[in-house]
Amino acid sequence: MENHNHEAKTNQNYLCNSLPQVLVLEPPPVFKFHGDQLSKRFHFLKAWESPLPLHQYLTIHSQSVQALLSSGRNPITSEIIQLLPSLGIIVTPSAGLNHIDLQECRRRQISIVTAGTLYSEDVADLAVGLLIDVFRKISTADRYVRHGLWASQPDYQFPLGSKLGGKQVGIVGLGSIGLNVAKRLEAFGCNILYNSRQKRPSIPYPYYSDVCDLAAHCDVLIICCGLTDETRHMINKEVLLALGKKGVIINVGRGPIIDEKEMVECLVQGEIAGAGLDVFENEPCVPKELVQLDNVVLSPHKAVHSEETLMALCDLVVGNFEAFFSKKPLLTPLVDY
């Protein structure tokens, strides 16, 4: 009861200072970097800081909460939504919506705002960076120089890399990220091919309905699609063998899209030539075999981490919540979800 009173008092104090209230269940990354800025505009009810069970915490604030900022990861279930009868808007910093019970939101006509394509350019930049790194051995060369081997091994010939121009690059999932990757790699003289659920009529690149067929025609596969039941372990041993001994795989999608065990085996056995990976099946755990290999580049799931994009996300969060609270049209509402 003491906790209960404390929560109610805190809430009361903030209502007095008239900042609009936003519920947060778990802190999203934008909080770590722009928490101060956000807190000047809104009073955040930080559920994760409360010692109360979530159900009890939500019950206390059930009447006042009109807005919710999702972490983009933890589920916003129908149970949570039903505990918040005044909820009118959910803003999620994710591009996807898998974590939100959309049926309940539809029924209640709750507005939803996502990050949309805000991250596409950052992810595409990293995909291209990983590809150049694997092809031209940049991280390996950096280790070589840092360990003092350049100066101490005058007769050693650093291994040759590969040229990007003229390579067949297969993009798996030609959404906003895939199109941004394609645009960048065309400037390097790469030829783009793609696989996606459906052929896109307006796209000039050759389409392969079968990902194994795509792999057989490619020097590089770049995984840019989302994780669904259909894409889980879509990149299996058959696809990797079709990609072949000179083939390189880049993953900026989600770890489980690749059968990681098979990929590691293929890399160790030389059945494929290299990999650039921002995502893994069991993050933050990375298969120990990969750490020993010079033909892979390992990145800790940070494809969307740039200062500029996180600032843009902060603006998107603030702009949409401010529009909501002042009863103006939202800046970027999700339509027909």
Catalytic sites, residue numbers? 254, 283, 301
Among 23, 65, 81, 126, the residue binding a copy of itself under the rule CB under 8 A is 126
Q: Confirm or reject binding of residue 163 to a copy of itself (CB under 8 A).
A: yes
State phi, psi for 235 to the nearest 5 degrees.
-90, 90
Exposure letters 41-63 (e unless 16+ CB within 10 A, then b): bbbbbebeebeeeeeebbebbee
The residue (of 23 and 304) whose beta carbon lies closer to a copy of itself is 304
Question: Is the CA virtual torsion 296, 297, 299, 305 positive or negative?
Answer: negative
Q: How is residue 19 annotated by DSSP?
A: P
Among 19, 52, 102, 132, the residue binding a copy of itself under the rule CB under 8 A is 132
Among 135, 194, 208, 325, the residue binding a copy of itself under the rule CB under 8 A is 135
Q: Confirm or reject binding of residue 189 to a copy of itself (CB under 8 A).
A: yes
Residue written as token pair 């919710």: 68
Bridge partners, 90 (sequence order): 68, 112
Contact 112, 335 (CB under 8 A): no
Binding mask 28-57 for a copy of itself (x = CB under 8 A): -x--xx------------------------
Q: How far apart are CA 313 and CA 328, in angstroms?
A: 20
Number of residues that bind a copy of itself (CB under 8 A): 57
Binding mask 222-241 for a copy of itself (x = CB under 8 A): --------------------
Q: Confirm or reject binding of residue 204 to a copy of itself (CB under 8 A).
A: no
Q: Which stretch binds a copy of itself (CB under 8 A): 12-20, 91-99, 185-193, 230-238?
A: 185-193
Identify which of 158, 127, 179 has the alpha carbon closest to the alpha carbon of residue 297: 127
Among 65, 76, 250, 286, the residue binding a copy of itself under the rule CB under 8 A is 286
Bridge partners, 67 (sequence order): 22, 89
Q: Confirm or reject binding of residue 146 to a copy of itself (CB under 8 A).
A: yes
Question: Which CA distances in Å does 295 have to 13, 237, 319?
Answer: 57, 19, 44
Q: Which residues bind a copy of itself (CB under 8 A)?
A: 29, 32-33, 121-122, 125-126, 128-130, 132-133, 135-136, 138-139, 141-146, 148, 150-151, 154, 157-158, 160-166, 183-184, 186-189, 283-286, 291, 297-300, 302, 305-310
